Structure 1
Amino acid sequence: MPNKKLPSEQQLFQKFKTITDQTNPKPKIVRNCSRAFLVGGAICTIGQIFQELLLKYGFPEEDVKMLLPIIMVFLGALLTGVGIYDKIASYAGAGTVVPITGFSNAIVAPAIEFKKEGFIFGVAAKMFTIAGPVLVYGIGSSVIVGIIYYIIQLLT
């Protein structure tokens, strides 16, 4: 019986890498970046339109700064709830993640996905799975910066 030499781990890895490189689709970077830029810009333009409308109808600038994020979060949640935001996101990719509507989508989408598990263990528990760490680290870092600022003010 002939003694066959088995391929080494390195050879197997190299063969696997060659096969995956040949079968993986090549990313369309220019197309993806263009879509992200256009859709992200469109979302920001919609926000700017709402800001200008609120100012035009006599809302004080301080109130507009408070109302605009509320409106954009509501629109993001509404579009996620009716299934439109996911279609926009699949077209635009990262263009929908950066604006505040992406934050809204990140909260609402898991809540909708797990609603069949009930209000407490489904919606409430899963609502902050993606956005929760962002909130925790954002609030935590702002507290640390605030404490450092307070200490600096005491020393000067």
Structure 2
Amino acid sequence: MALTPKEYENLSNKAAPNSNLGKNMALAFLIGGLICTLGQFFVNLYTKLGLDKDMASGTASVTLVFLSVLFTGLNLYDNLARYGGAGTLVPITGFANAVASPALEFKSEGLIMGIGVKMFTIAGPVIVYGVSASVIYGLILYLFKLI
């Protein structure tokens, strides 16, 4: 069955579910804001417990990663993502979920070929490009300081 691009677009639009853009944006804003607020709560808590600001921020990040992986393992993060959409992609929690989900999904294939290989299928490119970009930006900054 040969379809023209216009016919394919029409079929695709008919099959695609309608989305409520306003509702989705509001939920993403709320859920993302709640995750960020939770992170700030942990920073404040750890500061009150005696950690300096930098150590409290790092510890709060570790706590958010832990909670994200825990919620992924308990199958709660996916339910939150269905409800909160893009708001659950707040970088640190979304990244932790992106690493933990494939690891859990492919654990039956073994430690090396399952968990070891598959857990970086989504997060791997982010790590590679993030590290590469930071090296490039660092070199550019270094060169400008020499001038």
TM-score normalised according to structure 1 size: 0.85
Separation in 2 of the partners of 1:72 and 1:90?
A: 19
Cα 1:142–1:18 change in 2 (3 A) is closer
Q: In the alignment, is residue 98 of structure 1 matched against residue 98 of structure 2?
A: no
Which of the numbers 1, 14, 29 marks the counterpart of 1:37? 29
Question: Aligned residue for 1:5?
Answer: none
Structure 2: 5+ residue stretches without partners: none
Q: In the alignment, is residue 140 of structure 1 matched against residue 120 of structure 2?
A: no
Write the letter of the residue equivalent to 1:145: Y
Cα 1:150–1:123 change in 2 (3 A) is same
2:43–2:53 CA contact under 8 A, matched in 1 = no
Equivalenced residue count is: 146
2:88–2:94 CA contact under 8 A, matched in 1 = yes
Runs of 4+ in structure 1 deviating by more than 6 angstroms, as ranges, are none
Question: Aligned residue for 1:69?
Answer: 61
Separation in 2 of the partners of 1:18 and 1:91?
A: 28
2:39–2:60 CA contact under 8 A, matched in 1 = yes
SS in 2 for 1:26: coil
2:72–2:101 CA contact under 8 A, matched in 1 = yes
Separation in 2 of the partners of 1:143 and 1:152?
A: 14
Cα 1:148–1:113 change in 2 (3 A) is same
Structure 1: 5+ residue stretches without partners: 1-7
Separation in 2 of the partners of 1:15 and 1:140?
A: 41
The CA RMSD measured in Å over matched residues stands at 1.8
1:97–1:103 CA contact under 8 A, matched in 2 = yes
Question: Aligned residue for 1:152?
Answer: 144
Which of the numbers 39, 50, 73 marks the counterpart of 1:47? 39
Worse overlay, 53-62 or 146-155: 146-155
